[in-house]
Amino acid sequence: MFPQKASSDFRLFNTLTNRVEPLDLIEPGKLRMYACGPTVYSYAHIGNFRSFLTSDLIVRTAQAIGLKVNYVTNITDVGHLTDDDVADSQGEDRMARALRSKEGESFGNVWDLARHYANVLIADWDRLNLEEPTLRPRATEHIRQQILAVQSLISAGHAYETTQGVYFRVASFPDYGKLSGNRDAAELTELSRELVVDSAKEDPRDFALWKKDDKHLMQWFSPWGWGFPGWHIECSVMANEYLGEEIDLHAGGEDLIFPHHECEIAQAESLTGKQFARHWVHTRFLQVEGEKMSKSKGNFLTVQGLIESKEDGGKGVDPMALRLTLISGHYRKPYNFTMDTLRANTRHVQRLREIRDLLDNVSETEATDKTVEPLVLDDLSARMLDAMLDDLNTPEAIAAVLEGVKRVMAKRDTLGSDDVETAKDWLGHVESLLGIIGRPIAPDPADDASLAAAVETLLSERAVARASRDWARADQIRDELGAMGVEVMDTAEGVTWRRKIDS
């Protein structure tokens, strides 16, 4: 057990107030948390995962102090435009563009493409040992709720319709700008992100809630005709649906502060009249070898690409070393990812696994009381937890782990049974708080409901492809499942599957 702590001992920087503040929960003992998930038009990159890992560490730290966490993180599988500056008819949908790209050639349509990348995202999530969220809702499965929310906003005078769409009336929400500090109308027009060029708009700051477009690849019928929802409305609606009108904590990468989170607040608070989220947590961006990641520079690193790379004599990058690297910098400082750091971290996680194996073997055979000086690690568990409670101070928490590795290694030949218990407890704390050791053997996939559901969907599609003798599609689905770490077995009794065992 970790030392007893109160929820107010957990302190996090709040973008809304610009201060590090104790967690102030709506309902004692329970954390209601929402984090913006990825847009699934391509493979998630390691920067995306840096942000997802911040949320993961919040969840783990909250659980360590006994909070019950309700953690919702969405998948954006619709209508995200390529250029935030012109989120209107001139902007291009990211999904549509991805479908036309070289990578997109293998997909039959945009739905297929979104499903593929969402499946790989869930597989990457699992490979990097992130806790499964309580719920992972998809934007396309909540269109009705989004339409209803837009209707309510119109009825309450917070939104209006033009020939091109429906817009949020920023002038109707005086608090607009309270998160980002972008309050000045002229400055906002200048910033002009996500500001739609529609001459019928009342105010250039107004942002789209619904886009009318009967040519769009993903469209739904609404009271305003065929079209698709604006980007921001999905999160307000899904947070509301699954966590209630008020939530404790909302997280995402720093680029989301404005306009996305500012717009989420405007929508949600106009709908409910209550404060949407108490704490706003934002992760600074990751760069690679000192530069912004970009496909053209060749430094665009995906989780999938690294794990399947030729690194480490062809074995690929160790997922736990990647995880350790991605959490090794403080989330509120920009992080420079380098392959050198990754290699150094590979040695650290190997050491931790060595200790795990050593403890397993010692306990089975010879854990007798040979010790004079007992092994002490409790102070290090406490130090690690205190560091995480202090605005997720991961560098300090990891330093405490490395100190523990040193102490155990120094005593490896003289471990008594008490020492083994002490070391096992400590290792359990390291894993539950930081998740950098990983599972010894892959767990039963049936335990992982999201993965199992995704696999079942793909297997039924594969059955249809095989029945219609579309062997190319059937093979492609097998490859997709392979990328998700799933092995398909065609047996006399039918098709079964299992998770590939990590080497």
Q: Write out the residues near ligand AMP by the rule CB under 6 A.
A: 36, 38-39, 47-48, 50-51, 252-253, 255-256, 283, 285-286, 293
Contact partner, 51, from Zn ion, ligand AMP, none, Cβ < 5-8 Å per class:
ligand AMP
- Beta carbon nearer to ligand AMP, 51 or 145: 51
Contact partner, 235, from Zn ion, ligand AMP, none, Cβ < 5-8 Å per class:
Zn ion
- Beta carbon nearer to Zn ion, 35 or 437: 35
Contact partner, 485, from Zn ion, ligand AMP, none, Cβ < 5-8 Å per class:
none
Q: How far is the CB of 47 from ligand AMP (least distance, A)?
A: 2
Contact partner, 283, from Zn ion, ligand AMP, none, Cβ < 5-8 Å per class:
ligand AMP
Q: How far is the CB of 139 from ligand AMP (least distance, A)?
A: 11
Helix (H) or strand (E) holding 449: helix 449-467
Q: How far is the CB of 56 from ligand AMP (least distance, A)?
A: 13
- Among 33-41, 81-89, 271-279, 311-319, the segment contacting Zn ion (CB under 5 A): 33-41
- Among 116-124, 235-243, 294-302, 381-389, the segment contacting Zn ion (CB under 5 A): 235-243
Residue 105 phi, psi (nearest 5): -55, -30
Q: Which tokens is 354 given?
A: 């060595």
Contact partner, 430, from ligand AMP, Zn ion, none, Cβ < 5-8 Å per class:
none
Q: How far is the CB of 287 from Zn ion (least distance, A)?
A: 23
Contact partner, 286, from Zn ion, ligand AMP, none, Cβ < 5-8 Å per class:
ligand AMP
Q: How far is CA 353 from CA 65, 140, 201, 423, in A?
A: 25, 41, 59, 13
The angle at the Cα of 300, spanning 297 to 301, to the nearest 5 degrees, equals 145
For the chain, the straight-line distance linking the first and the last C-alpha, in angstroms and rounded, comes to 31
DSSP state of 157: T
Q: How far is the CB of 234 from Zn ion (least distance, A)?
A: 7
Tally Cβ neighbours within 10 Å of residue 174.
Answer: 9
Burial 253-264 (b: 16+ CB within 10 A, else e): bebbbbbbbbbb
- Beta carbon nearer to ligand AMP, 256 or 266: 256
Contact partner, 377, from Zn ion, ligand AMP, none, Cβ < 5-8 Å per class:
none
Q: Report DSSP letters for 234-289, one per residue.
A: HHHHHHHHHH-SSEEEEEEEGGGIIIIIHHHHHHHHHHHSS-SEEEEEEEPPEEET
Q: How far is the CB of 281 from ligand AMP (least distance, A)?
A: 11
Long-range CB pairs of 160-163 (<8 Å, 24+ gap) are 160/202, 161/224, 162/198, 162/200, 162/201, 163/200, 163/212
Task: Choose, by CB under 5 A, the member of 31, 36, 98, 239 that binds Zn ion.
Answer: 36
Q: Is 35 in the site for Zn ion (CB under 5 A)?
A: no
Round to whole Å and give the CA distance between 52 and 33: 13
Residue 451 near residue 119 (C-beta atoms within 8 A):
no
Q: How far is the CB of 252 from ligand AMP (least distance, A)?
A: 4
Q: Is 281 in the site for Zn ion (CB under 5 A)?
A: no
Q: Which tokens is 76 given?
A: 């954006």
- Beta carbon nearer to ligand AMP, 294 or 350: 294
Contact partner, 48, from ligand AMP, Zn ion, none, Cβ < 5-8 Å per class:
ligand AMP
Q: Which tokens is 389 given?
A: 């409670």
- Beta carbon nearer to ligand AMP, 260 or 429: 260
| Interactions with Zn ion, residue window 94-133 (CB under 5 A) | none
**Radius of gyration of the CA atoms of the chain, in A:** 24
Q: How far is the CB of 487 from ligand AMP (least distance, A)?
A: 29
- Beta carbon nearer to ligand AMP, 58 or 293: 293
Round to whole Å and give the CA distance between 430 and 428: 5
Contacts of 4 (CB under 8 A, 6+ apart): 66
The residue number whose beta carbon is nearest to ligand AMP equals 253
Q: Is 257 in the site for Zn ion (CB under 5 A)?
A: no
The angle at the Cα of 134, spanning 322 to 121, to the nearest 5 degrees, equals 40
Contacts of 300 (CB under 8 A, 6+ apart): 45, 288, 293, 294
Residue 325's SS3 state is: helix
Contact partner, 118, from ligand AMP, Zn ion, none, Cβ < 5-8 Å per class:
none
DSSP state of 2: P
Q: Is 235 in the site for Zn ion (CB under 5 A)?
A: yes
Please report, as ranges, the residues that interact with Zn ion according to CB under 5 A.
36, 235
